[in-house]
């Protein structure tokens, strides 16, 4: 089915934030003793704050030693719990240090959902297990579908988890074996056999897969192997740690032209890599906005920092099973909607075609072309080109054809030419 995807909930307007900040000043005065206490206390060493008590209804425990030993601390304002009502996405910045290494490095902490979404998760677990909205999660988890693979079950199979999230909308056995083999929240990682995991680890894996599979995307397609995602570090309870990449792409919207051209070239290279790679997995980005990418301050490398909505299609399986029209090139339909960062797509078609232009469409429409709108701006990352480039007209024509093609299969050719042209402009010719 066709799906028009608006931006995620939680993107508050600046005016709303300013009003909230005014209210916050009043609250800070009224709660000054507790304010001081929260500033002095390292809550990241608190088991209840990490929600470690909710395991196995959590995301893992591999980083618990680091958290509980006080090696991870919030940065400045992150220590103030009064600010949490502004932090809808539950994303924090922190400093992490190993005693033997000396010094600290910045990391990003995520709860993988809003407070409301996490509360709904708890209620759904309890209702399925007990019929009541509240319960002991430790006792409830073994009575839910997250425990269906406990015991002497050999493999995680497509029939067990298909459709649970975008990552496994149409999973192949090859993909699931990869997820299990690279699962980082177990000491025995490296085997695709599910029975090598403890029951608690299996439940954590399945819950993560269903609630927010971002950690599994980062683990299965790691940055160490050249994939354009942030590095997964570990988890403790319902707090996941990933590497800090840099400022979000949005902060470069008005950067010098040469910088923006380089970033645009990288974005098109990411679209190509995720679409066509030696592993024959197509990773389709279903949520593309300026907030979901970041840029390294030293190497200037563009990295995906929000991988919750990534659909993985196994091209090898598509070619093997040959579903209807599997070898017909699929062109995504342009939809000039009145909302920011929206995309039109069919998951069923993404899962059933070997050649798809979705990633080119998403990057061109939502980030690069004149159709891209974000935070009240328009024109895309490549707005206001130098006069000689604007006069030549080639860049604008390629961007328009990539976002909204006029010719049959025009986007495929335009994307190829756009990558080459941007490489030429940015001196990234290989």
Judge contact between 407 and 420, C-beta under 8 A: no
| pLDDT of amino acid 118 | 97
Q: How many helices (H) and strands (E) does the chain have?
A: 16, 14
| pLDDT of amino acid 235 | 98
Q: DSSP readout, 404-425? A: S-SSTTHHHHHHHHHHHHHHHH
73-87 burial, b at 16+ Cβ within 10 Å, e below that, comes to bbeeebbbbebeeeb
- Distances in Å between the Cα of 366 and the Cα atoms of 222, 343, 381 are 25, 8, 9
Domain range annotation of the chain: 245-426
| pLDDT of amino acid 337 | 72
Q: DSSP readout, 249-301? A: GGGGTTS-HHHHHHHHHHHHHHHHHHHS-TT-EEEEES---GGGEEE-TTT--
**DSSP label at 165?**
S
Low-confidence ranges of the chain (pLDDT < 70): 1-40, 77-87, 101-102, 428-430
Q: Which residues contact 263 (CB under 8 A, 6 or more apart)?
A: 249, 252, 255, 295, 300, 302, 381
- Distances in Å between the Cα of 360 and the Cα atoms of 227, 241, 267, 331 are 17, 30, 9, 10
| pLDDT of amino acid 29 | 45
pLDDT in tens, 278-335: 999 999 999 999 999 999 999 999 999 999 999 999 999 999 999 999 999 999 988 7
Q: Which CATH architecture has domain 245-426?
A: Orthogonal Bundle (1.10)
pTM here? 0.89
**Locate tokens 């307007």: which residue?**
13
Judge contact between 418 and 268, C-beta under 8 A: yes
CA-CA distance, 72 to 242, in Å (whole number)? 12
């Amino acid at each position: 089915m066709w799906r028009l995807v608006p931006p995620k909930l939680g993107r508050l307007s600046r005016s709303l934030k300013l009003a909230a900040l005014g209210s916050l000043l009043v609250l800070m005065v009224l709660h000054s003793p507790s304010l001081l206490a929260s500033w002095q206390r390292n809550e990241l060493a608190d088991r209840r704050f990490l929600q470690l008590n909710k395991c196995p209804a959590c995301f893992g425990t591999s980083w618990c030693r680091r958290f509980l030993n006080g090696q991870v601390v919030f940065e400045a304002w992150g220590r103030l719990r009064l600010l949490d009502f502004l932090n809808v996405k539950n994303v924090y910045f922190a400093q992490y240090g190993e005693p033997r290494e000396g010094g600290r490095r910045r990391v990003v902490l995520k709860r993988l959902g809003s407070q409301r979404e996490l509360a709904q998760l708890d209620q759904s677990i309890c209702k399925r297990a007990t019929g009541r909205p509240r319960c002991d999660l430790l006792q409830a988890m073994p009575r839910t579908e997250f425990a269906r693979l406990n015991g002497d079950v050999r493999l995680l199979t497509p029939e067990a988890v298909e459709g649970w999230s975008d990552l496994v909308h149409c999973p192949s056995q090859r993909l699931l074996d990869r997820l299990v083999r690279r699962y980082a929240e177990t000491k025995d990682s490296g085997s695709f056999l599910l029975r090598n995991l403890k029951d608690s680890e299996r439940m954590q894996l399945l819950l993560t897969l269903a609630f927010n599979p971002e950690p599994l995307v980062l683990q299965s397609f790691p940055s160490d192997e050249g994939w354009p995602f942030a590095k997964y570090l570990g988890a403790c309870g319902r707090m996941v740690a990933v590497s800090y990449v840099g400022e979000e792409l949005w902060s470069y919207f008005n950067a010098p032209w040469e910088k923006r051209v380089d970033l645009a070239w990288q974005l098109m290279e990411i679209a190509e890599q995720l679409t066509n790679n030696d592993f024959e997995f197509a990773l389709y980005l279903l949520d593309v906005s300026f907030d979901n990418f970041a840029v390294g301050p030293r190497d200037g490398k563009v990295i995906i920092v929000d991988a919750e909505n990534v659909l993985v299609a196994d091209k090898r399986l598509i070619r093997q099973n040959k579903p209807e029209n599997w070898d017909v090139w699929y062109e995504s339909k342009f939809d000039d909607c009145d909302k920011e960062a929206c995309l039109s797509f069919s998951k069923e078609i993404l899962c059933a075609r070997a050649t798809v232009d979705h990633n080119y469409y998403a990057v061109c429409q939502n980030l690069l072309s004149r159709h891209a709108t974000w935070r009240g701006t328009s024109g895309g990352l490549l707005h206001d080109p130098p006069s000689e480039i604007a006069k030549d007209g080639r860049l604008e024509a390629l961007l328009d054809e990539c976002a909204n093609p006029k010719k049959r299969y025009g986007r495929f050719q335009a994307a190829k030419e756009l990558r080459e042209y941007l490489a030429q402009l940015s001196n990234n010719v290989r």
